[in-house]
Amino acid sequence: MLKHRGFPGRLPGTDFQFTIRRANPKGVTPITSRERHADRRPADRRADAGFMKALWQQFGTEPFERGNLDAGRISWLFGREVLPVEDPFDPASYDALLIIDEAAARASFPQAFEPDEEDWA
């Protein structure tokens, strides 16, 4: 399992997990497409936006390997902002390749593409 060095482990100040520490010995948790409802809690929305921002800063428009990225967190974006690269796609593989659909991601999470204030310093 590839570990993405420099990728945040969680949303700062919360318990929303972005990465996993080690491979699951019982089997890989598959990525599924989860529906986001309009009445989701604001904290969940911030976690989705924070994860998208971290993905964009780490990978941009390049394909990336799932590796140690949390399947649950990816699943909230999968099929919309994060798409499979390979056909057939193996949702239960740490080696699965994914890519950000920039247009969909910018429409769903415009705040994830805004520069941080410290970037202007």
pLDDT at residue 59 is higher than 90: yes
Which is more confident, 23 or 92? Answer: 92
Please tell me whether residue 9 adopts helix, strand or coil conformation.
coil
* 80: in domain: yes
In a domain, 16, yes or no: no
For residues 105 and 80, what is the distance between their CA atoms, to the nearest angstrom? 8
> Which residue range forms the structural domain that includes residue 54?
42-108
The answer to pTM > 0.85 is yes
| Whole-number pLDDT of residue 23 | 82
Number of domains in the chain: 1
Backbone dihedral angles phi then psi of residue 19, each to the nearest 5 degrees? -130, 165
